[in-house]
Structure 1
Amino acid sequence: MTISAELSHQSRDSGPGAPSAEVQFRAVIEKSLDAVILFGPDGTIRYATPSSARLLGYEAAELDGTDGFEYVHPADRDRVRGALATRLREPDATHTEVYRVRHKDGSWRWLEARAVNLLFEPSVGALVVTYRDVTRQHEAEDALRRSEDQYRRLFEASPHPMWVFDTETLAFLAVNDAAVARYGYTREEFARRTIRDIRPVEDVPALLADLRTPVSPKVWRHRWKDGAVRLVEVTGHDLEYDGRPGRLVLAHDVTDRTRAEAEVRAWKSRYEAAVRATGQILYEWDPSINRLSWGGNSESILGYSEPELPVNLVEWTDLIHPDDRGAFGNEIARCGASKSPFRLEYRVRRKDGAYTTVYDQGHFVPDPNGKLTERVVGFVADVTDRKRLEEQYRQAQKMEAVGQLAGGVAHDFNNLLTVINGYSDIILTMLHAHDPARPMVEAVKRSGDRAADLTRQLLAFGRQQVLQPQVLDLNAVVSDTAQMLRRLIGEDVELVTRPGAPLLLVRADPGQVNQVLMNLAVNARDAMPTGGTLTIETRNEVLGAGTAPDGAEVRPGPYVRLSVTDTGTGMSEDVRRHIFEPFFTTKEQGKGTGLGLATVYGIVKQSGGHIELETALGRGTTFRVYLPGLGGTTADQKPGESSAPKGAEVVLLVEDEPGVRALAELALRKQGYTVLSAASAEEAKALVTRCERTVDLLVTDVVMPGAGGRVLAEWFLATRPSLKVLYMSGYTDDAVVRHGVEAARVNFIQKPFTPSSLSRKVREVLDARSAHTS
């Protein structure tokens, strides 16, 4: 090589023992870690250091004498030629270029070339180029450039507003097109503003405080250029932007979403309130994973909170009453096969161990195309109260049926008993004490009285008896009845009375109240076969609105409570449930009619009251009767009754039943009255027209063929306003009212009556001050 020759020449001129300049230069460049290649002015490689092999893969000998440009990437070759020309024109300058050079393995390496023109240096005579491999650095820089370019494109193309702001000055440094479009400001306007300017004034302090905390997603209020305020979810990332501390922000308008979420929450709240109001439990069952999920009123119905409820069908089935599991499984199988709705009543065990009856209704959920899926949604409703009401209704129907039966036969029975008992009384008055027929007539009379009592009990039980209520002091009633009750219950039962004072008055039929006391006393006596204590107590009590134990609605207000307590055997729950049913009895056959307590129930309900029962086996029984209280604490005094009062007035008797008419006529004539007797309203009118005397009293049956008693009375009163009227009937209260007569408001006597009771009632009506009550 020429350079070697020159260096050798220099070395000889240096004198003996001194290294030549070429040797010195070679020693320097061969120790360099970088590759050093010497080029001639035409680009021919004159020399390459051994380190070139590490950089380019070629040994130095392979490079020597070759054209250096053939290793340069074609895309960089012209640029490198131009750089060589520049070096030749500026021999003293040092130039640096970066370009691609082909490695021996065919790959391209990025090299940094630093060139020094030493062509005119005698010891070198070449263009000296030092190479350093910068492939990794260049690739990293290229990747960075690509990443920056990618992020720049993403920044600009984002459909959501994005910007970079200076975290110290809060000024906008860059904004994307979406921010310009959404907020309404131009880029120039953004450049003159800070992030304070897009916030409502009252939110700025919170913004400044937030800048001092770690970056995290938050929802802020932003103000558009047109003044609209929107809810914006903001996420950010701190970065350096053009040498300044900045933060990249992505803003997502969530106003509509937030409003929709609020509407969903409101709807859900209303829905949950509606579910709570219905008292139901909602469920969803996914058979594919056997998963149950719940909502609604589980705690109030079953005692379980939602997390405590079963999570699958097996666990739910375990809560179902064993007797109902078969029906439950069959209904599931039926619905699964037909995709029809699930409907079933069954019993479920509550958290406290008790069973409650529920109604379960579920439906298969359709997919978006309307096809039914396997998922089921439904509700479980507590129907325990409904079942109880249905049972009460069934009991009421049975009681109503017996009442209708009693009412249906009452008229005929009462007419027959009026004749039987009436003539028995008359015959007894005609027989002396030792007459051999007297015991037989007395037996007939006793049987007639028992039949009359049975009819009254049936009517009282069915709440169809004609009541004649009066203002009563229950303490006086209890006191008057006490002696009779002592004889009734026997000597081995102690009777204790505890009258409350002062006690409100009540309005009730005194005979019916006596019947209640006697029936309850008999029931108590029979519950104490070996003796005990019967306590009758009265007191005032105020009841609030609600439901009585018998299911009836309680009208709030003052009541008088009559309690009858025994120390007897008590009742089982099964007996307690049936105790007021007609003909239900725990006594031996022939020992009781089963109407005693049913009659009490009927009387109390017909009197506008309520009755409740407290009992337990071996702990005795208490019946509590509540009757509406009136103002005042003293009862009206009832005038004394005389025995078979006489009279001389003219009485018009109208009765379609011959036997009753004959008896009544006989009884009144025996007391001195003049009696005009007729079988119908038309006959009565004709009779009065022919009669020369003035009629003082009309005694008429209420229900008769043709015109009834009410119509007949109105006909007479139209021309005889001073006429007094007494109605009589063997029909039930409903039938009498339907014929225009309200027994509580008119002069009325209920069949069966005796000759003496009829005579007393006639005298009472004639002696009354008012002309009539019709």
Structure 2
Amino acid sequence: MRNRSISSRIRIPILFFLLLIIVFIISVSISTVNRVSREYFSIFFELHQLQIESIIKSSKNMDDAIKLIKEHQNNEGITYAIFHDGIPVLSKGDISGAKEIKERNKLVKTRVSGSRGYGYRFAYLPWGWEIVLASSPVMPGSVEAANNIMISGISFAAVLFIIGIMAVVNRNLKVPLDKLIRKLREGQPLTHTGVREFDFLVDAINGAFNSEKEQRLKTEILHSAAVALNESMSLDDTLRTILDAARGLIYADYAAIALFNEKGEFTKIISNGIDTEEIRQRVGMYPRGKGILRMMQLSLTPVRIDDVTKHEAFSGRLPDGHPSIRNFLGYPIFSSKGIPLGSIYFANKTTGSFTEEDERFLMAIASDAAVAIQRVSATEELRRFKKIIDSAFDIVTFTDEDGHIIYVNRAFEELTGYTKSGMSGKGLFALNEGIYNENFYSNIFSSIRSGNPWRGELINRKKNGEEFIVSSVIFPIHSDSGRTINFVSIQRDITEEKKLYTQLLRAQKMEAIGTLAGGIAHDFNNILTAVLGYAEVIKHKISKDDPIYKGIDIIEKSAQQGAALAGRILGITRKEKLELKVVDINAIIRETFDILNRSIPKEINIELNLRDGIPPIKADPVQIQQVIMNLAINAKDAMPDGGTLRIETDRVGRENGAANGIASYSDGGFVKLAVSDTGAGMNNDLQSKVFDPFFTTKETGKGTGLGLYIIHSIVTNHGGYINLYSEPGRGTRFNMYFPVCKGGAKDTESFSEEELTGSGMILVIDDDQNIRELAKDLLESLGYTVITAANGMEGITLFRERKEEIAIVLLDMIMPGMSGAEVFQRLQSIDPDVKVILCSGYSHEGLAGIKELLDSGVKGFVQKPFTRKTIARALKQIVS
């Protein structure tokens, strides 16, 4: 709904109703004029009728009457016609509308000389005459003048009324309201305007602002207390932080936290506003069992006292040097188990007495203090057990001289599920019985009985039947006499390490496949360079009407599709750079939706809920589409019997990134992309692992375990973050947040067709003859002189001989014999100012060495397959 100001809401209705009144009055005026006109012409025509009838009666015959009527009526400003037996015998003016006047002795509207007017018909029956009179509706002058005066007066009065209304509204409404709005925008306190209703509003707003300010301060204090709890601060520093903030907000002169032990003895006092050590000593001398502090020890509820001296718990005196106390507010501090830990209290409120609001705030502060106290207590306890926990990291087993277990540590129990008592008396290899044959165990015992330790890997079995792999060392313990009295086994669980090693082998295999695919894509790009380039050359040489134009256009588009395919292959093998663009994520989703509709089974319903007006993000469209496709495929696998796949977008505030330490561009917030399904869902254990590399719940051979890991990497590389919500049996939802990119994409430098042309000599060094020929044809069509070399040595020789003529060198990066990097170094040794453009089927971020060359003096880079425009633009940018 469109917002409008209060003044406009008042002015517009007033103007509207005034307009209605004016229209009504004018309508009444016009109606009155028309009525007067009709009455005037009725009398006018009746007078003419009497005159004509008088002439007829005084005439001897018809001819005489016609003559007299003609002489008399021609001097009158009236149109008339006389009919005898339907034939006109006399007329004046245009009588074309005479036949329309059929009724006698009645005023009717008709046409007079091409315009609307009034007509009148009467008959002289003795002679069989029908006489028709007509006249234009000329209003009587007095009536017209009066009407004009009335309309002008009404209009003038209306204008004056409107001006008056506007002035009143402006003075009593708009001016004070604008003043209030201005002060609100400037953050100033509002002042009274003199308008009662506005003054009520001012008081309400000021009250709300003051209340909100106080609540905000309290929230900040509670937040600072919570932050202090999470920092590695000492207990004293944490409690001081809490007191410093709280005392200033409750407006008390003094504040303190007193801690005591189970016997009721004070162990610590932290104060604010008075000396801590002095008060601690004075309170220690104070008789226990009396006074307000003792009452606080015994109290289970807050204590609020308006006049301390009159309270029954007051002992009648304070320790020497203790500040005088007027009023008091205290709150007990309890542990999570309900054990009293101490009290927090405030004294001498600066304005009035303590309130219930102060009491509620103090309750929150007391909770923070309790957390701090328990945190320190728990930390000290953890320190006491740290050495024990550290010593029990590996599985440790002791046996007697016969190999029967006499002790296992806690790590053994936790890992295997067996208890110490349950394992007592069993054999050293009880965890892997049945896994190895007897000869295997005999060889180990032979080794350790001979005094030598045994090292190796073993497969153990937990109580629940799950197998795990350990790196084990078993050695004997000898008595002073040298006799073996015990055996010790120390085992470290290496199951995850073995899995990671297996995954590493798989990753290396995948990397090898990726390298192969990347190489194929690179060679494919080289082939496409000639196809795409010559298709463009031919299109520039023929018109669109040429019969072969359509075929060439198809070749060009197919080559472009092939280049895009090669780009995707390079992207998967990480040899294609991240193509960040300012994109509309809704448009990417709609494109992906068409693909999903063809690939997702019909049993799964795909729903799009895309919010309109989503701001742009900076992203690689191909990778965003890959994210959506991967999540959709996972959702499909989770719903084998059908269900709903839902894709949604929304805009959320920048606070959504704060918890993850992520800031959006220009603080514009985040675009949220959510993909959810109604499938099987996941438990908490699976949720904690889904983004781990190589983790999969699918059967062997049906998943690499890299899908969600890659999705997580893509989202992170885009400056965003991802989280998930899932419950078993209720589906899974992935939420991805991408920073909003304010402003459009930066326009790349562009040149017109004429500006793309140039001059000078270009040396093309490439081992592919087709690419050399293509580059020669493209560049010569732009006005350059081109010489070519089939390898690095030939190119170096040509450059040495003609370096004064050569303006730019177009150098292939990957060539047999001598690579592009080596050729560039040789060219630079000949001429340090040589201008070189590298060319490769890989991107400059996807091939090692290109970035270093760009940093060391290479002027530009062109990725294959290139077109006439891309190669021309690269040359032009170096020249300009």
Q: TM-score, normalised by structure 2?
A: 0.42
The structure that has the greater radius of gyration is 1
Q: Which of the pair has the greater relative contact order for Cα pairs under 8 Å at 6+ separation?
A: 1
- The alignment's TM-score, normalised by the length of structure 1, stands at 0.47
